[in-house]
């Protein structure tokens, strides 16, 4: 944590994306940022590996949002309510309408350090599986990939980076409990609390952070973006 680190910075943009909070069963509460596990899935889709376990840094924000009404046609395994051309009759366990919050103009910046980071940045040139941020309809645009040097920092622009609880003391930051990683059989999630600012915070003292001097992850932020390497 004292040495400068070489990394690839990759920016992603999704015109529309939504991240459901799985801690609210039966409700669709939307998260304001993609969880790290979602980003891990995006990276694994690029490399084609079952999972990617490198520690990476991320910052994310969105331009706006809305709430969609969606018709669900779940197919019951019992076969009592068959699907006909993709439609299922309404009723218990059948066709139903749910509201689904979504974000528009989602901007995501990811820092991928070390040789693993170089391998993933390389794979993003020709992803093995389709790249999506959120659900299968949330196609993501891969922006520029830049080689950067990350310096350990005492003070940096917190911006819209995801930070561990011990990362900084910005009063406007809110805590979000997000999945850090999901096991490959999807049976177990590792939950972690993260700090995130919906309005980019300026320069503050930071702990355990690196600084990317050439980057502002949000147009309203200052240069010298702070980032924390998030473990799976």
Partner 1 sequence: MAYLAGRMLVSVEAGAPNNGRSADTTARVKYATVRGRRHPYVSAQAVRRWIRDGMVRQGVPASPVTRVGKAQQRAQKANTDADPITYPDDDLFGYMRAGAKKDDDATTLRDSPFMLGTLLSVTPAHPTEDFGVMARGVSEPVLHGHEFYSADLAAPFLLDLPRIGTFTLPNAHGVGRPNYLSQEAALQVARAAALGAGAESFRGQDSVRLPVAERRRRAALLLESIAHLHGGAKQALHYGDRVPHVIVLVPFHGGVNPLTHVITGDEEGLRIRGDVLRGELEAWAGEWEAPVRIGWRPGFRDDLRERFEKECAAEIADRTVVIGHPRTILLELAAEMRDGTTLDHWFEDPVREPVREPVR
- Sole binder of partner 1 in the list 4, 66, 90, 205 (CB under 8 A): 66
- Sole binder of partner 1 in the list 2, 3, 26, 79 (CB under 8 A): 79
98 near partner 1 (CB under 8 A)? no
65 near partner 1 (CB under 8 A)? yes
CB of 231 to partner 1, least distance (A): 21
In contact, 209 and 226? CB cutoff 8 Å: yes
Burial 73-112 (b: 16+ CB within 10 A, else e): beeeeeeebeeeeeebeeeeebeeeeeebbbeebbbbbbb
- Sole binder of partner 1 in the list 131, 150, 215, 230 (CB under 8 A): 131
| CA gap 148, 1 in Å, rounded | 16
Binding string, residues 172-201; x marks residues near partner 1 by CB under 8 A: ------------xxxx--------------
- Sole binder of partner 1 in the list 26, 50, 115, 171 (CB under 8 A): 50
In contact, 35 and 19? CB cutoff 8 Å: yes
Helix (H, G, I), strand (E, B) or coil at 49: coil
In contact, 57 and 210? CB cutoff 8 Å: yes
- Sole binder of partner 1 in the list 13, 95, 155, 213 (CB under 8 A): 13
- Sole binder of partner 1 in the list 4, 82, 90, 202 (CB under 8 A): 82
147 near partner 1 (CB under 8 A)? yes
**Dihedral angle over CA of 112, 115, 119, 122, nearest 10:** 70
Helix (H, G, I), strand (E, B) or coil at 95: strand
Q: Kindly list the residues in this chain that would bind partner 1 in the complex (CB under 8 A).
A: 13, 15-16, 45-46, 48, 50, 63-86, 93, 102, 104-105, 122, 124-132, 136-142, 145, 147, 184-187
């Amino acid at each position: 944590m004292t040495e400068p680190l070489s990394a690839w910075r990759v920016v992603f943009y999704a015109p529309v994306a939504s991240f459901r909070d799985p801690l609210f069963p039966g409700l669709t509460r939307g998260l304001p940022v993609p969880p790290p596990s979602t980003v891990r899935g995006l990276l694994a889709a690029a490399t084609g590996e079952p999972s990617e376990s490198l520690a990476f840094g991320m910052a994310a924000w969105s331009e706006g949002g809305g709430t969609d009404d969606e018709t669900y046609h779940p197919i019951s395994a019992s076969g009592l309510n068959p699907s006909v051309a993709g439609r299922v009759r309404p009723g218990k366990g059948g066709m139903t309408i749910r509201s689904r919050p979504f974000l528009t103009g989602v901007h995501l910046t990811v820092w991928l350090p070390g040789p693993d980071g170089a391998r993933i940045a390389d794979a993003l040139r020709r992803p093995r599986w389709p790249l999506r941020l959120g659900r299968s309809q949330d196609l993501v645009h891969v922006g520029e990939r830049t080689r950067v040097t990350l310096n350990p920092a005492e003070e940096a622009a917190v911006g819209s980076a995801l930070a561990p609880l011990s990362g900084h003391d910005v009063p406007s930051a809110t805590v979000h409990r997000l999945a850090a990683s999901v096991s490959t059989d999807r049976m177990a999630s590792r939950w972690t609390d993260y700090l995130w600012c919906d309005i980019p915070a300026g320069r503050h003292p930071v702990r355990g952070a690196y600084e990317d001097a050439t980057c502002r992850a949000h147009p309203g932020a200052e240069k010298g973006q702070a980032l924390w390497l998030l473990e799976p």
